[in-house]
Structure 1
Amino acid sequence: MKVETMKEIKTALETIIDLEDPYIQQLRKDDRKGAQKLLQAWEKQREKEQKLHDHFMSINSYERKLRKEGYTYIAGIDEVGRGPLAGPVVTAAVILPADFYLPGINDSKKLSEKKRELYYEKIQAEAIAIGIGMIDPEEIDRINIYQATKKGMLEAIQSLNRIPDYLLIDAMNLTTPYPSQSIVKGDSKSVSIAAASIIAKVTRDRLMKDLDKEYPDYHFASNMGYGTKDHLHALELVGISKHHRKSFSPIKEMVEASRS
């Protein structure tokens, strides 16, 4: 029997996914260090992929249950940008197909920017419908951030080009014509809400990067409007812009001080 080279073993392993595959059983008997190293790397990769698969199945449980109950167009709803000192609060509603599969999807805050961008493109390509809501700082100041978030979520639902028959909402109770469920930390528990969080996050980040070109002093491209040290320093040096939330501290105090 011909003894395989390390390159041949590596190539063969790339086509195998089953731990019980006869080739794997045979490879376990190969006492060459290089062969065992390749086998260990393969097993580690399979273990990682299995964990991602198991996690995906776990966060798809709400959707599977609802589909068994007869619901088809299940919209996940989430927001990004409640805490920043500048920029809008952005909301998204996403309806995914039943066969959507994206191992690794999670709450957008737990993903790297590279992963968010990659997942954003897949969601955009495969979603049945996506709706976006965006509430600007002036409106946030007028009605408060909680009401602005609710308004944005309703806008996102209304902008869907497919009428949902059920809503899964991240930690918010909305008055709508549709049956719904509010899920605390829903972006970590529901694939539809996780998808909405990614759409909202990437949409808002891109907008803040565009604002950074117009207002470079505030470093919006890196802080996304949050109250980082460089952002607060810029506020002291150049003051506030029309994109800042005047009802948020310390901007509120700056506005009041300028009036006195």
Structure 2
Amino acid sequence: MSNQHFVESNMTLIDMSIEQVDIKGQYVQLAAPIHLSGQLNVSELLIQYAINKREDLAQSSLQIGVDEAGRGPLLGSVNVAAAILPSAWSGLIEDQPLKDTPLSLLTDSKQLSEKKRDILYPRVLQYAIGQVIADVPAAVIDQVNILQATMLGMRLCTEALLAAISKHLVNDVIETSHAISQIRPHQQVQILFDGNRCPDLDYAMLNEIGITKSLIDCQAWVKGDARHTSIAAASILAKVSRDKTMYALDAEHPEYSIAKHKGYPTRAHMEAIETYGVLSAHRRSFAPVRKALENVR
């Protein structure tokens, strides 16, 4: 993973365009780049999660929540996000670890209004120890199908955070004398995915940077954004970032009323496709769009 840029000593900015992916030992050229953006607060990571010999290891487990937005629409990218919250804020929503924190709105319910999501979005960006958002474009969805595109986005977000974590824990261990060798063998990283399956991570790559498969505990949680704070935080990032791309498309193509339907197959959207045609951002592999193209022919 190249193109990582660093700002200040305590913050890693993650900015990547992925054009090829290694899938089970074979490189696949993507139909369009997948863009990843985010950051890792290294200082907070070390303060909250670095293990010292005198500390209780059980209190230092690290949790990454991963969620997506936009699997159902006919238009635009599917957005995936991964988030690491402060250790005291990570856990089951029902246990109220976010009570009296800037993210307390996340404990209300899964069905947050757009107004509440817009309030939470900058707060998650500000207070998350690490976060990555992947924009998986329509061309990739058409290339590999929506399920595989979503799994790929989840995988890339997770691997980007793990790579940054490993790199900076190693670097800071030397300087701060924390008793860590990359991620210590008895310190598992929990990766919680919203949904009923986990993506296939590139364990060969992770092993090269010192994160063996035994260190990673992948869990799939149906409706996980209503159960785990880290998944809920990732859900906010994914949903709001996708909405932003929809508003940008709406500005370019106001006749489609994209700001209202956000790409979903509403009657107004279908009528706009019939009247104005299919945009480059439409998912051509989805049946309604495919049929519209066939009618044109």
Q: Secondary structure at the match of 2:104?
A: coil
Aligned counterpart, 2:78: 89
Among candidates 148, 151, 168, match of residue 192 of structure 2: 168
Whole-Å Cα distance in 2 between the matches of residues 232 and 109 of structure 1? 29
Q: Distance in 2 between matches of 1:149 and 1:107?
A: 27
Structure 1 residues 110-159: Cα deviation after superposition (integer angstroms, max 9, x where no partner): 11111101111111111010011121111101100000000011121133
Q: Is 1:154 matched with 2:148? A: no
SS, match of residue 76 in structure 1? strand
Match of 1:31 in 2: none
What SS is found at the alignment partner of 2:290? Answer: helix
Aligned length: 193
Q: Which moved more, 1:80-89 or 1:101-110?
A: 101-110
> Is 1:113 matched with 2:114?
yes
- Match of residue 176 from structure 2: none
Q: Matched residue of 2:88: which SS? A: coil
State the partner residue of 1:38.
none
Separation in 1, partners of 2:108, 2:266: 22
The secondary structure found in structure 1 opposite 2:287 is coil
When normalised by structure 1's length, the TM-score is 0.69
Which of 161-170 and 91-100 deviates more?
161-170
Match of 1:199 in 2: 237
Q: In the TM superposition, what are the counterparts of 1:221-240 in structure 2 within 5 Å?
A: 221-240=259-278
- Assess, with a 3 A threshold, how the Cα gap between structure 1 residues 228 and 68 changes in structure 2: closer, same or farther: farther
Q: Mark the CA change 1:231 to 1:215 in structure 2 (over 3 Å): closer, same or farther.
A: same
Aligned amino acid, residue 124 of structure 2: I
Cα distance in structure 2, aligned partners of 1:168 and 1:224: 27
Aligned to 1:46: none
Higher helix share: 1
**Partners of 1:131 and 1:158 within 8 A in 2:** no
Superimposed CA distance per residue, residues 139-184 of structure 1 (whole angstroms, 9 cap, x where no aligned partner): 1011000000000111211332435922011112222342211111
Aligned 8 A contact 2:82 2:131 in 1: yes
From 249, 258, 281, the equivalent of 1:243 is 281
Q: For residue 127 of structure 1, what is the aligned residue in structure 2?
A: 128
- Structure 2's unaligned 5+ residue stretches are 1-55, 90-97, 167-187, 202-212
Greater alpha carbon shift after TM alignment, 216-225 vs 205-214? 216-225
Q: String of CA shifts for 1:56-90, please: whole Å, max 9, x gaps.
A: xxxxxxxxxxx984553210000000000001000
81 and 166 in structure 1: CA distance in 2 versus 1, 3 angstrom threshold = same
1:41 corresponds to = none
Corresponding residue of 1:78: 67
Deviation string for 1:5-24 (max 9, x for gaps)?
Answer: xxxxxxxxxxxxxxxxxxxx
Distance of aligned partners of 1:202 and 1:74 in 2 relative to their CA distance in 1, 3 Å threshold: same
For the structure 1 residues 106 and 207, does the alpha-carbon distance in structure 2 shift closer, same or farther, using more than 3 Å as the test? Answer: farther
- Is it true that 1:220 corresponds to 2:221 in the alignment? no
Indicate the structure with greater strand content: 2
TM-superposed CA distance for 1:209, in Å, is 0.2
Q: How well do the aligned residues superpose, as a CA RMSD in angstroms? A: 2.1
Q: Return closer, same or farther for 1:206/1:108 CA change in 2, 3 Å cut-off.
A: farther
Change over 3 Å in CA distance of 1:80–1:68 after alignment to 2: farther
Q: Retained in 2: the 8 A contact 1:132–1:159? A: no
Structure 2: how far apart are the matches of 1:242 and 1:165?
A: 39
Helix, strand or coil at the partner of 2:285: coil
TM-score with structure 2 setting the length: 0.61
Post-superposition Cα deviations, 1:32-62, rounded to whole Å, max 9, x if no partner, equal: xxxxxxxxxxxxxxxxxxxxxxxxxxxxxxx
Larger radius of gyration: 1
8 Å Cα contact 1:133-1:154 kept in structure 2: no
Unaligned runs of 5+ residues in structure 1 are 1-66
Name the % identity: 41
**Would you say the 8 A contact 2:110–2:225 is kept in 1?**
no
Whole-Å Cα distance in 2 between the matches of residues 141 and 108 of structure 1?
Answer: 33
| 8 Å CA contact 1:132, 1:155 repeated in 2 | no
